[in-house]
Amino acid sequence: MNRTGTGAQIRAGIANLETATHFALATLALASGVYTYLGVRSLLDGTTTQIFLAAVVYASAVSVGIYIFWAYLMRFLPLIRETAGRLMLLAVMALGSAMIIAMSSWLNAAALAGSAALEQHLAVTLEEYAGDLDRAHQRALSSQSLLPDVQRVSERFSRLADEERREGALTGTSGSGSVVQLLGQMSAQLDELGNSIIQSRERTAALFETGSEHLASMRELVSAPGAVAPRADSFAEQAVALSGVIAALQETSIAPSVRRAAEDLSMGFIAPVADGSSAELVSRQDRVMTTVRAAVDAQSAALAQAADEILAESRVESRRFVPLSSAEAVIRYAGDFVPSWAGAISIDLLPAVLVFVLAIAHRSMRREAGAMDAAEMITAAEMMRSVDIYRRMTEQIHAAEHVDDADDTEPQADPAPPQAPAVLRPVPASKGNADETKGTG
């Protein structure tokens, strides 16, 4: 009795909640359609009217499809008892869920987190440009680290020239001769190279300041309130300008010039003719100029090696800012917006929970009802017919019992010849009552 009552309560509960279930399903489908509309609108091109109509039609199709899909599963899956049929419906539900995610959930996520994803894209791009600017600046500064070496060698040659001019420190004879001329020539070349490096430093500083200004403007655009699309357009303009600054910074590197100047010091070395007044002085001048040439070759090799090390550093690759739609940004940075993705998918797949709840309720109802399934299929007419048959059978039994009692009370008569036994036939209720009265009289 309790099992049957529990099954009846479950059936009544399912019936009472049917309207609420369909209302909830319709609400979820409508909500998914609204967010799908917001997401798909950012992907369409055309006039405002065309975008509106296309987005409404797509969102309506999504809402209707979601509602019908889950309504079919709610209606049939709980009723299927065969394992094969249930597995097939579960496979259909998995396929349909994947299709719903493909046509709706990612657009819902775009509507929920599209603006935040675009700001994330701008922030990530800003950091990349900042890194490029720093690397280009460091590469430009690394070539300027050669300036102290160049200035030191230039000062050395200039000092030797002065000492030779005043005291004859190299040849033993003071005055301005071929040695002083050669040392002055080397010092002048190195001074020109040093001035080039100094000019490059000034230009590098100016370019880095300009790039920093562009970065500051880009940071303001990332963190500014308001719509993302206009800010993204301004961000793109600043990114293009910053790319030009980074390219110019790489071109200001003085390392190639230092490399060429180092080669010129050695390969372009032109020693003047010794102009000493005596053969001994000429000989000393030749020996000094040979020593100077060796020193120039050594310094040239050192500068060339330092320049090669700088040139071996990898160049900063040019970067291009790629604007993204809100849907593309949500997909690219999906890992940063897991809650939004979870909400977008849940609003589409929440009816699956209702399907499983109904399946469990139907299973429990069938288990509680047990063998009463056949009895629950009897109609009212069949029930009334069964009651009438039972009543007639009861009346016949009572009538037969009264006839046997009357025969037992009558006196014994002579035995009569044997006769065929009478056949017991069903007696109507009124006639049975009359015979019962006669028997008793």
* Residues 228-248: tens digit of each pLDDT: 888 888 999 999 999 888 888
What backbone torsions phi and psi does residue 2 show, to the nearest 5 degrees? -65, -40
Domain match, 236 and 320 both? yes
Instruction: Provide the percentage of residues in the chain whose pLDDT is more than 70.
Output: 78
Domain match, 257 and 296 both? yes
pLDDT value at 270 more than 60: no
- Closest CA relative to residue 254, chosen from 194, 305, 295: 194
Find the length of the chain. Answer: 441
Domain end call among 324, 346, 365:
324
Four-residue CA torsion sign, 61, 64, 67, 73? negative
Domain match, 33 and 176 both? no
Q: Which two tokens stand for residue 401?
A: 């019992």
Domain match, 233 and 168 both? yes
The Cα 210–Cα 226 span in angstroms is: 27
pLDDT value for 374: 52
Domain match, 300 and 348 both? no
Start-end of H helices in 323-379: 326-332, 338-349, 351-369
Domain match, 72 and 151 both? no
Min mean pLDDT across 20-24, 132-136, 381-385, 400-404 is at 400-404
| Furthest-apart CA atoms within the chain: distance in Å | 195
The Cα 335–Cα 331 span in angstroms is: 9
Domain match, 395 and 365 both? no
Domain match, 7 and 149 both? no
pLDDT value for 382: 78
27 domain residue, yes or no: yes
97 domain residue, yes or no: no
- Closest CA relative to residue 327, chosen from 45, 58, 39, 55: 39
92 domain residue, yes or no: no
Q: How many domains does the chain have?
A: 3
- Closest CA relative to residue 304, chosen from 261, 268, 250, 270: 261
100 domain residue, yes or no: no
Q: Could you tell me if residue 226 is left (phi over 0), alpha (psi between -120 and 50 degrees) or otherwise beta?
A: left
Q: Which two tokens stand for residue 273?
A: 């003719």
Taking residues 414-438, what's their average pLDDT? Answer: 44
332 domain residue, yes or no: no
Domain match, 394 and 435 both? yes
Range of the domain at 65: 2-79+337-375
Four-residue CA torsion sign, 257, 263, 268, 272? positive
pLDDT band at 419 (very low <50, low <70, confident <90, very high): very low
Rounded to whole angstroms, what are the CA distances from 328 to 17, 37, 125, 172? 40, 16, 15, 80
pLDDT value at 430 more than 50: no
Domain match, 389 and 370 both? no
Domain match, 236 and 138 both? yes
Domain match, 320 and 173 both? yes
